Structure 1
Amino acid sequence: MKILILGGGVIGTTTAHYLAEAGHEVEVVDRQPGVALETSFANAGEVSPGYSSPWAGPGVPIKAVKWLLMKHGPLVIRPLLDPAMWSWVSRMLVNCTSARYAVNKARMVPIAEYSRDMLKALRASTGIAYDERSQGTLQLFRTQKQVDGTAGDIEVLKQFNVPYEVLDPAGCIAAEPALAAVREKFKGGLRLPGDETGDCQMFTTKLAEHCTARGVKFRFGTSIEKIVASGGAVTGVVTSAGLLTADAYVVALGSYSPVLLKPLGLGVPVYPIKGYSITVPITDAGGAPESTVMDETYKVAITRLGNRIRVGGTAEISGYDMKLREARRDTLMHSVGDLFPGGGDLSKASFWCGLRPMTPDGPPIVGQAGPKNLYLNTGHGTLGWTMACGSGRVLADVISARKPEIDVSQLGLQRYA
């Protein structure tokens, strides 16, 4: 079949790889001049199946109030006269129960674990390198209350057989030696040794090169205007390059997926949640993190990517606003400067923001939807890099009429019916 993929981020590109591998003729369309130049460009760098949890959970509404009052809080809400914003927020609040959290996490963990396995296999088969490391994630607790509050998280990790280590300060320093310089600033940690790190944009760029060599066509600098459907099937996509046609179509446009799909009568509950990052050149390798440290107080991820430190965080609910706000930079600078004061040159940090495509319940939307030849691969939130290879592989299986290796029946759009 000829398959047209709308979106050239990490999700669209991994989907293209697996579809080409399955023998299909694949074309990827993106408005940018290259792949992974929007949300995939400078994310936190974590491939974290162990952290694959819904944002909506018991206690989150109360925590949200606290976060909104913090100087360097992880949550920012900029109210808009946007029905989609308030619909998404209300649907998320409905999912903030223990029962819904359990259901939603049970849908997220399998695809995340499978995705990590697919990434390892892809890396082995292609030889792609992207400043990757397989040294786990350390969730760092600054207060004893945070340490004491891990019981619920640990029970969930046990339930899904996710390897973990509960560490005292000495154990944290053994995992991340640079923390020895700030030993008085934390009380302990929870380490997930199965997690990985890597530069998502570097990975996507190299995978696109690999795809091109296999015959995948990338059409860059092309805006996508609308999907045309007739008789229960998509008949083409109107773009700035004219009408593009195929046998099947994949929407992998992240936060912009709902905008394109709404005229088809498809209500896709994905909303943009803005995240920020800074990238800091390392000046002292011994003072930098070895892998990823998650600063639990500020919900900031500090990741080693080759000779750089990537610092990512903040959930800003402000629609499609892409303004870089200095207060968010200050939060990221504060966290990394406090925990790794000698690791990098903060004066040379680059500042970035991107729109995470979040669903109100947490799991992504992967599968067929609406017209019979239309497929979705969107809504991965903060876990697009984590879930990309798994999502791309299972969707390629679905389109190719092969049974996926894991059950993805609960990841479709129909779960919102």
Structure 2
Amino acid sequence: MFRLEDFNFHNKTVFLRVDLNSPMKDGKIISDARFKAVLPTIRYLIESGAKVVIGTHQGKPYSEDYTTTEEHARVLSELLDQHVEYIEDIFGRYAREKIKELKSGEVAILENLRFSAEEVKNKPIEECEKTFLVKKLSKVIDYVVNDAFATAHRSQPSLVGFARIKPMIMGFLMEKEIEALMRAYYSKDSPKIYVLGGAKVEDSLKVVENVLRRERADLVLTGGLVANVFTLAKGFDLGRKNVEFMKKKGLLDYVKHAEEILDEFYPYIRTPVDFAVDYKGERVEIDLLSENRGLLHQYQIMDIGKRTAEKYREILMKARIIVANGPMGVFEREEFAIGTVEVFKAIADSPAFSVLGGGHSIASIQKYGITGITHISTGGGAMLSFFAGEELPVLRALQISYEKFKEVVK
């Protein structure tokens, strides 16, 4: 794949695809983490004399945070300490004229790419390159730099459509993400421990199946709703209250798949020995084999218990490679953040090379000031797809572009 250092960008127009999709409140961006993650790439292009045209999406149609990129231009302007022009268009004549007017070292950001209907669906490269977005923009750009790892599992026009039309290059963030994930996945160091929590049960089951079948993991520790599904699959009763909640969320549909995985890999998948419930507004811990487990019929599981967190810590401190995605419980409430904090602290304290991803995971380590994890991934969904053994369309597009243009460039 092409790297930034392979090219001379002076006076060249670069379409830089990033993922600045960020949490918002009252029309303001409340976390600039994704902006800061791509600053090295933007600064490199500016210093190389490129004309930088940034493309990103924000939210999904009809969602609360589905809005323009005007606020993104303001945040970027502050972080870069230079004006970033907001172009209220994507690929129309107005946008193309504005792009042509850019001078070396200047930066502009296009309107929310998802305002274009073409950008909302996943399609093969062959279809993506026929879109108006790709056909129109390709006339006014020289290169494409892709630094949008968080959307690397999607196949949409702005992400893969230029691959055979213009040289497509990895940004620094994309390169860093790929290197970290490849190291974690392919390393022969052992023990390799996966910690899977949160609510992305279907994706997590795919990861468990893939890493154990391909002997890419020695042990999987579970938390959150992922643990609840595996606990049910092991034959434990989580009580009416919790089963009803899982049914409402459609999670009982995954229990059979979890049972099939356990049939093949039972000893390598660990589930909590105790849980914490919300007992009239307070944290109460329940051992799965204790007499008070009847409380699970009335009260909802909110976290793994302290005994489970301690057992997980013992395992993690001996690990050489750790991959983690998703919190252990409802960390937003301090009394139920104990499991998440203890497990993530153990990952940070471990001598292992560690990779952690997922929006809620990142939010929890920021909230509780946890430092020491080797690599924080910007893409939860893309990261899970990678460890599930699925091909990431953006990485495939980068490879295709390299094969197409390697002779021309060199």
TM-score (norm 2): 0.27
Highest CA radius of gyration, 1 or 2?
2
